[in-house]
Structure 1
């Protein structure tokens, strides 16, 4: 079994970050400690990987941005495009370059990241998603690479730098907004409940309903790609029934926009028949008709913060894993109306 940085840290009685900074010959580590760590590295036969040696030479200054596994639709999602744009802007200001890592399968994505890390092509990584049983996170963690996440991690929460919104609260606030408009039959439609973000918002949705004394209806919870024909049929079937929901919490603006088109096909009007609130406050929220009431997650600031904190870690200015939770804000437009005004 290969000797890892954790083995060195344990043998030397120091933190893994101390070993990393010794490899970088960082000024924050005393010469006495460096000597001790290097002695243990030699004793155990530990060889820093190419990425670590690149850090010593300080010749990379590149952040790898890891996108979720996708068939290409991720590049059509304004949320990810805005994050990439925000990260690129923040990296430019810090004199770092950006390299994207993507793949149509988990194996393909992992291979891309391994090529970048073993080839010394990135100082650290930013992961733009969070899901359970993720081989990508396991690899980054096992290899002791510098990385940060946008979103709350399923594992290693106290060991990872991450920036997020309170998605459970955001889901609750979205549902409470519709409840305040006197809606009781509220659906939740999202693209992927395997993501931490989606599962937390769903939890907030359920919490809001239960707090209002309403038992959530499992038929009102729909997941899966909105472009999937079976999901479109499920949505049309639900909203064609006598007991159709009068309001929807949609997972993002793109889902909400596609929902509007689907409901128009069965002659339902927004917001006269169905109110919709969504997330991200993207450009779609303003161009679709009617314009969407949407929760602004302040993506630009979120991107700026994750870059800043990761670079602090890379450059040895920060040694503790920290989390930052940013506020959200409901931007009211024309897709929601009070129930008693439209019935």
Structure 2
């Protein structure tokens, strides 16, 4: 029976990915480990196949793009669609291909990434989200794979490449914009609060209200990720109350569109009854009615910069630990009015 890479890994007491990278003479593997693995290969009579030997001189020129776990709703979010488009454009310019990694569960997503990594199908990965206690990041970090993140890392911030906006400042700017329009009863409606971007924008919202000496009311902070019937009931109760909010900071354009529709069903209109400011300035922001005032996070620039820096990392022209914080700006449209 032919000796396999798994046999070598077991005998040497290392992961199969370590054997693979030893074959590639990859810089991430220490010389001591390479020597040990090569001795085992010689002892067992293991000979890398032609594909593996070819990897020593060339990479797959493919970037794996990791989407958050979902049942398909991620492909309905304009932020992710525009990010994928931007990454694809930047990769094309660098003569790299793009492969998507997705899954309906964390285990399914992790399996997809492992298959890509161990099969040499991707030279590096871009993670399009950041959340707490993420098994995907733990795997990428433990395996010493080349990866970058769009967003602020929850962990390993000083050991990885990431490109982001200052989302705390953006959240603060959004709330301050409404305060300047004389709104004092401002709600915050977010998506998944396990996602760092949602939480960071909420922190900024809280800071703005606190500095304006306004109470941060817990019942003014909602999430649209709860069961739909319960979410509708909570929105209805909040906005039909006597001291209802007159304005909303929505964590992204999709959340803003959803809550705008719900307000309409209970007889409230935007911006006459409720002003809304959101984030991402996606294509939907200007197409919806009324057009959304939204904070532009420069998705095209985010996506191009993360590709450029990751490829520099892959091609060993960039050190590992690096972060880029990009600016944002408020794009004023029709969804906000002064009191």
Q: TM-score, normalised by structure 2?
A: 0.88
The yes-or-no answer on 1:230 pairing with 2:230 is yes
More displaced 10-residue stretch of structure 1: 251-260 or 92-101: 251-260
Q: Secondary structure at the match of 1:291?
A: coil
The one-character-per-residue Cα deviations of 1:117-171 (angstroms, maximum 9, x if unpaired) are 1111110100000011111111111111110000011111111100000000000
Residue 319 of structure 1: CA displacement?
Answer: 2.2
Residue 6 of structure 1: CA displacement?
Answer: 12
Q: Secondary structure at the match of 1:56?
A: coil
1:126 — aligned with what? 126
**Which consecutive residues of structure 2, in runs of 5 or more, have no partner in the other structure?**
1-9
1:313 — aligned with what? 313
1:116 and 1:35 map into 2 onto residues whose CA distance is: 25
Q: Secondary structure at the match of 2:145?
A: coil
1:116 — aligned with what? 116
The yes-or-no answer on 1:145 pairing with 2:156 is no
2:223 and 2:112 map into 1 onto residues whose CA distance is: 29
The yes-or-no answer on 1:214 pairing with 2:214 is yes
Aligned CA RMSD, in angstroms, stands at 2.9
1:13 — aligned with what? none
The yes-or-no answer on 1:252 pairing with 2:252 is yes
Residue 34 of structure 1: CA displacement?
Answer: 8.8
2:240 — aligned with what? 240
The yes-or-no answer on 1:105 pairing with 2:105 is yes
2:32 and 2:55 map into 1 onto residues whose CA distance is: 20
Residue 4 of structure 1: CA displacement?
Answer: 5.9
1:155 and 1:282 map into 2 onto residues whose CA distance is: 28
Conserved 8 A contact 1:191-1:226: no
1:57 and 1:89 map into 2 onto residues whose CA distance is: 26
1:178 and 1:291 map into 2 onto residues whose CA distance is: 16
The one-character-per-residue Cα deviations of 1:189-238 (angstroms, maximum 9, x if unpaired) are 01111001111100000000000001100000001338822112211111
2:227 and 2:161 map into 1 onto residues whose CA distance is: 34
The one-character-per-residue Cα deviations of 1:253-287 (angstroms, maximum 9, x if unpaired) are 11111111111111112111111000011111111
Conserved 8 A contact 1:5-1:144: no
Conserved 8 A contact 1:285-1:292: yes
- C-alpha change, 1:316 and 1:290, in structure 2 (3 Å) is same
1:283 and 1:226 map into 2 onto residues whose CA distance is: 26
2:157 and 2:179 map into 1 onto residues whose CA distance is: 33
- C-alpha change, 1:132 and 1:34, in structure 2 (3 Å) is closer
The yes-or-no answer on 1:63 pairing with 2:63 is yes
1:135 and 1:291 map into 2 onto residues whose CA distance is: 38
